[in-house]
Amino acid sequence: MILSNLETRNVLMLGMSHYVDIGAPKEAVMLYLADGIAHIRLPDGTTMLGSWQMNDKGYSVAWEGGPRGDWHFDYEPGRICYVDGEGKRHGPITRIVPGDPERLAG
C-alpha cells in the first residue's frame, strides 16, 4: 500500500532521520528537514545536500551535483520501503529516529 496521505508522510518525514538498508554493509541515512532541505549519507560515507518537497503521491528530491527523483513509501505490515518514480524498490527503512542523531546537518 502506498503511503499517500499527506499527514502520514509529514509524520514520517519532517525532522526525521531514516536508516535504509540498500544492500550494503552499512545503512544509508537520510534526514528531511521542515525547511525543505534534505541530507543523505551513503554507506560509503559520501554525503549530499539537496532540496525536497511533497508531491501528490510521495515527494521529490534534487541533490546538489547529483540526481533528482520522485519517491514514495510502500507499506506492508512490519515494513516500509522506498520506491522510486518508476516503481522500483530501493530498500526497507530499518528505523526512523526523530531529529539528527548522525549530525548530517552539521
Per residue in 63-82, pLDDT tens? Answer: 999 999 999 999 999 999 99
HSE at residue 76, side-chain half, CA atoms within 13 A, is: 5
Domains along the chain? 6-98 (2.40.128.640)
CA 40 to chain centre: 8
pTM score above 0.75: yes
CB atoms within 10 A of CB 80: 16
Q: For residue 85, which phi and psi values (nearest 5 degrees)? A: -65, -15
Q: Which of 50, 3, 42, 38 is nearest to 21 (CA)?
A: 42
Label residue 41 by pLDDT band (50, 70, 90). Answer: very high
| Average pLDDT of the segment spanning 20-39 | 96
Label residue 14 by pLDDT band (50, 70, 90). Answer: very high
The whole-number pLDDT of residue 83 equals 95
